[in-house]
Structure 1
Amino acid sequence: MEHLLQVENLVIGFRTAKGTSQAVRDVSFSLEEGETLCIVGESGSGKSITSLSLLGLLPENGDIAKGSIRFKGEELVGKKEEALRKLRGNKISMIFQEPMTALNPVFTIGYQLQEPLIIHQNLSKQEARKRSMALLAEVGIPNPKEKLDQYPHELSGGMRQRVMIAMALACEPSLLIADEPTTALDVTIQAQILDLIDDLKEQLGMGVVFVTHDMGVVAEIADKVMVMYAGEVVETGDVKTIFEDPQHPYTKGLLAAVPNVDDETQELSIIPGSMPSVDDEIEGCRFHPRCPFAMDICKQKKPPVMNVSENHSSRCWLQEVNNHDKSTVTS
């Protein structure tokens, strides 16, 4: 069966004065139509760089050194800029983390909303304006006719983010990439934005790649979860499995740091240390300097991705120990 999105063995490097640094290391995942994949991890784990690479939006010093990105079976790696432009904002759209920098401050909301409709949908200016007004209404913006003639700085943060969502959904894309779209918003607006994305996903049947560090958001919207650490995928699985039966120590650490509003006596756990730099070459498992369960092999040899079950995998030597124990009990 053809996936909506298939990423295999993706390696992304950045050219620096010291040489080339690997920011993303051998990342693989897939996404189906109508499915939401949440990519989670601390800042610096490679989440945003992975999502930007899907649309060929890496910084000038960044390159895909290896791997494949296929959208509906079509290879995107190595595709010419002109061909990628036909996909961006049309078949594949992106909601960026900070709308104030993503929206152009010198153009009105209406101009920026109408542009993709005119370019990709061949609508007239009148038709595009009418459709833009309807889009603003769909994302819950009051007085949409008035808002079309305003500039980004005249809107609140929540309104600007809704405009970004309207722009992303203007051409009814098959794939939506959302890079921490609710980070700067208060909890009430955040909940509204998440509900809006989920409702529109159901209406359009699109796949969603949602980048976040907020495990509460993950629990609410994800179908599948991919946990990244220092540029690598360390655990993948469906959302219920990841929350109820996490296997990698890093995933367990992230979940232990989430506060439980029903438990006033809960002491929040922390993961000691900090994320390594992309320039840091760590022998063995990249998480072992911070891992409370690190063994000798963790410091010497990089763990492969090991299957926990059919749709659940973990990059951890503890998994080999667990699998060995299970086989011993079975025999």
Structure 2
Amino acid sequence: MEGLLQVKNLEVQFKTGKKRLKAVRDISFSVKRGETLCIVGESGSGKSITSLSILGLLPTNGEITKGSIRLSKQELVGLPEKEFQKIRGNEISMIFQEPMTALNPTFTIGFQLREPLMIHRKLSEETANKECISLLKRVGIPDPAKKLKQFPHELSGGMLQRVMIAIALACEPNLLLADEPTTALDVTIQAQILDLIDDLKKQMGMGVVFVTHDMGVVAEIADQVMVIYAGEIAEIGDVDSIFNNPQHPYTKGLLGAVPNVDEKEHELNIIPGSMPNLDDQISGCRFHPRCPYAMDVCRKKSPPAFRVSDGRQSKCWLQEVNVNESATTIT
């Protein structure tokens, strides 16, 4: 599969008064065409900020202060806004978490779906309308001609999310970013949306970056998994390795918190404490205050990324004392 997205040593900071706070710290990953990378972690871990950085949609007080984001061969960091507008919605699209707030309540579904088609593909209004009907059919919306004339408040949450997917796919992007697109949906609609995204990914050969906190969703759709804690990569690897042999204590904690309906006496794991604030001064590993395996070195020195195996990394000092002697430090 062809390499599509390469993110290297990404750092994002926010200005708050006189302070500059790091929200994303030295994050690197890649996505191939036809591949789904799931970014997982608790709320506040930096998942959404990472995806917004790729799309060039950071808040006004946010800034990429280090690193590189390349889409194919084009560098996106530092790209002028005028040039980014040609890419956003065309080569890269995003499905946002809350369709009711992402869609403009004062415009019809048709107006909002036509816009990217007319801007990026230069279609006439009549041709764009025909394409809109085709797109709504493609995402499973019944009576699409009628839906084009309706406003967002007239559609259900599941239908609105399908509209958001149609808008995101309107220009057949190379890369699709999905920021927890099923969080507000019931489980039946959630399953339909996940199947729809996966089918369209296969049909169009897109790369997908899927942000979620739901490990059940990850197991269903991911090829690669990146676990983020407090703005840093805790662990990254293929989905089977992450689920069958997690290396980082935080990954183990997240997997232990997944309910198991097959076991009547299954006890949910609880990760003690909470995610640190951006301005919390933590020496050593940022997870050590919550880690059941914390050692003295964890409290004094930040761990490097250890290569556990091909394409598999874990940022944890346990790798040095692990029986897996193949683990090596990544410089």
Q: One fold, TM greater than 0.5?
A: yes
1:44-65 C-alpha deviation (Å, 9 max, x unpaired): 0000000000011000000000
The aligned counterpart of 1:251 is: 251
Q: How many residues get paired?
A: 327
Q: Does 1:13 align with 2:9?
A: no
State the distance in 2 between where 1:134 and 1:140 align. 10
Q: Does 1:77 align with 2:59?
A: no
1:213-245 C-alpha deviation (Å, 9 max, x unpaired): 000000000000000000000100000000000
Letter of the structure 2 residue corresponding to residue 230 of structure 1: A
Contact residue 2 and residue 33 of structure 2 kept, 8 A: no
Contact residue 40 and residue 225 of structure 2 kept, 8 A: yes
Contact residue 40 and residue 212 of structure 2 kept, 8 A: yes
The aligned counterpart of 1:200 is: 200
Q: Does 1:293 align with 2:293?
A: yes
The aligned counterpart of 2:41 is: 41
Distance 1:9 1:257, change over 3 A: same
Letter of the structure 2 residue corresponding to residue 192 of structure 1: Q
1:247-299 C-alpha deviation (Å, 9 max, x unpaired): 00000000000011111110111100000001112100000000000000000
State the distance in 1 between where 2:267 and 2:28 align. 35
Mean Cα displacement is larger for which, 17-26 or 235-244? 17-26
SS of the residue corresponding to residue 163 of structure 1 reads helix
1:72-131 C-alpha deviation (Å, 9 max, x unpaired): 011000000011100111110000000111101111000000000011111110000000
State the distance in 2 between where 1:225 and 1:12 align. 21
Alignment of 1:95-174 (within 5 A): 95-174=95-174
State the distance in 2 between where 1:275 and 1:213 align. 14
Letter of the structure 1 residue corresponding to residue 211 of structure 2: V
Mean Cα displacement is larger for which, 282-291 or 135-144? 135-144
State the distance in 1 between where 2:289 and 2:326 align. 27
Gaps of 5+ in 2: none
Letter of the structure 1 residue corresponding to residue 142 of structure 2: P
1:299-329 C-alpha deviation (Å, 9 max, x unpaired): 00000000111111100000111157679xx
**Aligned-residue offset at 1:3:** 2.2
Question: Percent of counterpart pairs with the same letter?
Answer: 71
SS of the residue corresponding to residue 54 of structure 1 reads helix
Contact residue 7 and residue 27 of structure 1 kept, 8 A: yes
The aligned counterpart of 2:212 is: 212
Mean Cα displacement is larger for which, 238-247 or 15-24? 15-24
Contact residue 109 and residue 151 of structure 2 kept, 8 A: yes
Distance 1:324 1:35, change over 3 A: closer
The aligned counterpart of 1:226 is: 226
State the distance in 1 between where 2:96 and 2:260 align. 29
Contact residue 47 and residue 228 of structure 1 kept, 8 A: yes
State the distance in 2 between where 1:4 and 1:239 align. 19
Distance 1:114 1:256, change over 3 A: same
The aligned counterpart of 2:93 is: 93
Contact residue 272 and residue 290 of structure 2 kept, 8 A: yes
The aligned counterpart of 2:185 is: 185
State the distance in 2 between where 1:122 and 1:325 align. 57
Contact residue 41 and residue 47 of structure 2 kept, 8 A: yes
Distance 1:273 1:146, change over 3 A: same
1:175-223 C-alpha deviation (Å, 9 max, x unpaired): 0000000000000000000000000000000000000000000000000
Gaps of 5+ in 1: none
Q: Calculate the aligned-residue CA RMSD, in Å.
A: 1.2
TM (normalized to structure 2)? 0.97
Contact residue 31 and residue 207 of structure 1 kept, 8 A: yes
Q: Does 1:309 align with 2:309?
A: yes
1:25-56 C-alpha deviation (Å, 9 max, x unpaired): 00000000000000000000000000000011
Contact residue 139 and residue 166 of structure 2 kept, 8 A: yes
Letter of the structure 2 residue corresponding to residue 298 of structure 1: C
SS of the residue corresponding to residue 10 of structure 1 reads strand
Letter of the structure 2 residue corresponding to residue 288 of structure 1: H
State the distance in 2 between where 1:152 and 1:326 align. 54
Letter of the structure 2 residue corresponding to residue 159 of structure 1: M
TM (normalized to structure 1)? 0.97
Contact residue 11 and residue 24 of structure 1 kept, 8 A: yes
